[in-house]
Amino acid sequence: MESEEGEIMYSLAKQMISEKEVRRKITILEQLLSTAQMTTKDLAQQLGVSQRTVFHDLQTLRYELPEDWQLEAQGNQGVSLTASRPVALYEVWEFYMEQSLAMVVLKGLLFKRELSVVSFLMDNGVSYETLKRQVQKMNQELTDFQLTIRLTRSQLSWVGEESSLRVFYHRLLTPFTHQHFFFEDYQVHESNYRDFLASLKRQNKQAKTEEIFGICWFFINTIRIKAGCSIENLHYEEDDLAFSYQESIQTLYQKEGVLLKGDEAFFAYFCFLESWSYLLSPDVSQLLQKNYGHLFQRGKAYLNTLVEGVLLADDQELLEDLVLFQVKYYESKSLTDKFLGEYAEVLHVCQEKFPSLYQDVARSLATGELEGITEVSNHAVSNLVLLIQTAKARLNLQPLRVFLIFQGEPAWKQFLIQELQDLAGKRVKLIEINATEVPTDVKKTDIILSNLPLEKTLASVVSLSMVPTDRELWEFRKLIQKRYL
């Protein structure tokens, strides 16, 4: 449901909000949006607080919510959130952002180089000491972005590279691109970005992009340039053929009254390049194959250096992915690493889930197996690991084996096999066998589903009822998730 997605989308925003009460209220509403009703005991467990605290928060929420939102108590059944129309998660965030001093600070510093502390304190009705405590908490969360907020008696300002600052704002604001709180003071026209993408298609320079991802970059770059906060000292290659998109990008920003020059022009182009999906459009595929034949050759040779790589060397989609990765890295190593670092949690997934492939890729890159790429960051290694692992899964080289031992009415059994296969997904191979046919080469990674008692085996066994229960199906899915995300 939406709350799980929200945990991912809004995780940085939650980190930045240090007001515990505001965070709790947002979390309560998130939970009630995804679940028809919840008891105060369940909410307290989710929040890690007492039921008394939850009661207090619910009472406060009743007075704060918009008129068409209502919290209703259902006796012992719990609490539910009702509204005269469907409520979206972003509306919850928009409603509470203004109550967070951290968000008010971040919004102010998005539009200006510096903020007057005296004016800020008067406008927001807080003391200097309160603001000081808030900034100290915010700076703890900003460490990973190599940024700091400097507070003096007279002004608030950012300390750090402008490119790092924009990466931070992009991660923070992508979920809020359509909301008013951060962008109400300056209306950037996202329709201009969509027109820009459409014009590329008409010019036969189409590229599949993450649209909201790119629109958010467009917003942030436009706002920061108009605030007089410029990107400087970038190292990049202007003569690359993919740079042909630059003229269209400059036209896009001109519609917002921004004249792109020098480093700003390249940064805006690189933001667009970073939004390209690795599932390439036919136009981009043709562009790469026409102009980067040597990179395809190096990519193919590189795959042969990897364990099992020879099995992937003829995978055209993977080769195109590798070429696009090389083009991004060639354009600007420093920006590639910085942009990939925006999603640090992905690195941890790659290191923990694919340790041998991760080490294999790191070793190969260190010896210069890909064109012009030697000193790579861990984030770049993880990016390649994901591309290679995706290709391996696409080719279905090692499907997870699940053996079904089931005695029952034949028509029901056939229906059950189909349902279990659909539940398991395409990378699971469901094999029907008899109790006497358990293979001798069964492995720890294998799973056996059975409604008959079995002798001890290396495989994980899930006992099924004639009609599998929710608990049994969840046990099956949990075993699959050990192998996959």
CATH, residue 268 = 1.10.1790.40
Q: Residue 57, Cα to own-chain centre: how many angstroms?
A: 30
| Helical H segments across 79-203, by residue range | 89-97, 101-111, 117-124, 128-141, 162-173, 190-202
- With respect to residue 16, please indicate whether it lies within any of the assigned structural domains: yes
Read off the pLDDT of residues 452-481 as tens digits, 9 standing for 90 and up.
Answer: 888 888 888 999 999 999 889 999 998 988
The domain boundary, picked from 96, 119, 140, lies at 96
* Residues 113 and 52 placed together within one structural domain of the fold: no
Q: What is the pLDDT of residue 7?
A: 42
* Residues 135 and 81 placed together within one structural domain of the fold: no
- With respect to residue 149, please indicate whether it lies within any of the assigned structural domains: yes
| Lookup: tokens for 218 | 């467009």
Share of the chain above pLDDT 90, in %: 31
* Residues 286 and 390 placed together within one structural domain of the fold: yes
CB within 8 Å of 159: residues ≥ 6 apart: 147, 148, 149, 150
The domain boundary, picked from 274, 299, 322, lies at 274
Compute the mean pLDDT over every residue in the chain, rounded to the nearest whole number.
85
- Which helix or strand (DSSP H or E) is residue 380 part of? helix 378-395
Per-residue pLDDT at 87 exceeds 80: no
Q: What is the mean pLDDT of residues 319-325?
A: 89
Rounded Cα gap, residues 274 and 209, in angstroms:
9
Q: What is the pLDDT of residue 104?
A: 92
Q: What is the pLDDT of residue 238?
A: 63
Q: What is the pLDDT of residue 195?
A: 92
Per-residue pLDDT at 16 exceeds 50: yes
* Residues 293 and 391 placed together within one structural domain of the fold: yes
Smallest CA-to-CA distance from 80 within 61, 64, 56 is with 61
φ, ψ of residue 316 to 5 degrees: the values are: -60, -40
The domain boundary, picked from 53, 78, 96, lies at 96
Q: Whole domain around residue 418: which residue ranges?
A: 400-483
Rounded Cα gap, residues 390 and 318, in angstroms:
9
Alpha-carbon distances, residue 399 vs 325, 447, 466 (angstroms): 27, 12, 26
Q: How confident is the model at residue 107 (pLDDT cuts 50, 70, 90)?
A: very high
- With respect to residue 184, please indicate whether it lies within any of the assigned structural domains: no
Q: What is the model's pTM?
A: 0.81
Rounded Cα gap, residues 100 and 105, in angstroms:
9
Per-residue pLDDT at 3 exceeds 60: no
* Residues 455 and 441 placed together within one structural domain of the fold: yes
Rounded Cα gap, residues 485 and 480, in angstroms:
9
Domain count for the chain: 5
| Lookup: tokens for 349 | 């997934």
Read off the pLDDT of residues 124-164 as tens digits, 9 standing for 90 and up.
Answer: 999 999 999 999 999 998 988 899 999 999 999 999 999 99
- With respect to residue 182, please indicate whether it lies within any of the assigned structural domains: no
Rounded Cα gap, residues 422 and 402, in angstroms:
13
DSSP 426: T
Alpha-carbon distances, residue 382 vs 136, 146, 470 (angstroms): 32, 21, 36
196 versus 306: the higher-pLDDT residue is 196
- 196 in Cβ contact with 249 (< 8 Å): yes
Identify the top-confidence range among 198-207, 239-248, 250-259, 377-386.
Answer: 250-259
Pick from 2-16, 196-210, 432-446: least confident: 2-16
- With respect to residue 344, please indicate whether it lies within any of the assigned structural domains: yes
* Residues 303 and 376 placed together within one structural domain of the fold: yes
- With respect to residue 17, please indicate whether it lies within any of the assigned structural domains: yes
Per-residue pLDDT at 1 exceeds 60: no
* Residues 84 and 9 placed together within one structural domain of the fold: yes
- 96 in Cβ contact with 26 (< 8 Å): yes
* Residues 287 and 357 placed together within one structural domain of the fold: yes
